[in-house]
Amino acid sequence: MSETVSICRYRDVDLTPERVAEIDRIFFESSNTKTFPSDEARAAFRERWLGRYLVHDPAFAYLARDGGGRIVGYLVGAIDDPARTPRFGDIPYFAMLGAQTKRYPAHLHVNISPEFRNRGIGGRLISCFIADAKAADATGVHVVTSAGSANVSFYNRNGFEEIERTGPDGSLVFLARSF
């Protein structure tokens, strides 16, 4: 696939309902959780991992678009320490990671449409976020993912190193990169 994909800031795009639907589609398609007990549970899941970032941290959100303007990937992030920021208080693992998040406060969530993976787009989105996080004086960035997930090697290649295992049976891994 040789089609050119460009990266832009979320805030620079006119967010039509169709574009919001494209972001949502990529979010749900990329998530491991596929079924929800109710519409409310589905909405809460979206709010936790996507919605709150678009509302509170639009300056740290980026879109990847193909030549026709279709959204094929996105990154959302924040530079506030999530263990000390009330809007992340519903995510249980941050309570156990306060020492680490103090050192690496910025964090992100990145997802790419399956047909556009392995083309460097995720890496480009991470570079954009890190440049802005550094400019905003963040000292480091982290992600928390499943210890056995295929995306661990992706983060390793982008400069993230394993710092700590956490969660039930060490099933989650805290990966971080200093600035």
Ligand X SMILES: CC(C)(COP(=O)(O)OP(=O)(O)OC[C@H]1O[C@@H](n2cnc3c(N)ncnc32)[C@H](O)[C@@H]1OP(=O)(O)O)[C@@H](O)C(=O)NCCC(=O)NCCS
Amino acid at 8: C
- Using Cβ positions, the residue closest to ligand X within the complex turns out to be 122
Q: Determine if 33 is a binding residue for ligand X (CB under 6 A).
A: no
Cβ atoms of residues 113 and 160 within 8 Å = no
What the block records as the tokens of 17 is 């309902």
Where in 36-65 is the site for ligand X (CB under 6 A)?
none
Q: Which two tokens stand for residue 132?
A: 């802005």
Among 23, 72, 106, 110, binds ligand X (CB under 6 A): 110
For ligand X, the binding residue among 9, 19, 87, 117 (CB under 6 A) is 117
Question: What binding mask, one character per residue, do residues 3-32 give for ligand X by CB under 6 A, x or -?
Answer: ---------------------------x--
Q: Please list the residues that pair with 110 across neighbouring strands.
A: 75
Residue 179 tokens read as 């600035």
Count interface residues toward ligand X (CB under 6 A): 17
Q: Which of residues 124-153 bind ligand X (CB under 6 A)?
A: 143, 145, 151, 153
Asked if 72 is part of the footprint of ligand X (rule: CB under 6 A), the reply reads no
Buried residues in 96-128 as b, exposed as e (16+ CB within 10 A): ebeebbeebbbbbbbbbbeebeebebbebbbbb
120 touching ligand X, by CB under 6 A: yes
Calculate helix-pair angle for 17-30, 39-46, nearest 10 degrees.
90
Strands 161-166 and 106-112: unpaired
157 binds ligand X, rule: CB under 6 A: yes
> Using CB under 6 A as the criterion, which residues of the chain lie in contact with ligand X when the complex forms?
30, 110-112, 117-123, 143, 145, 151, 153-154, 157
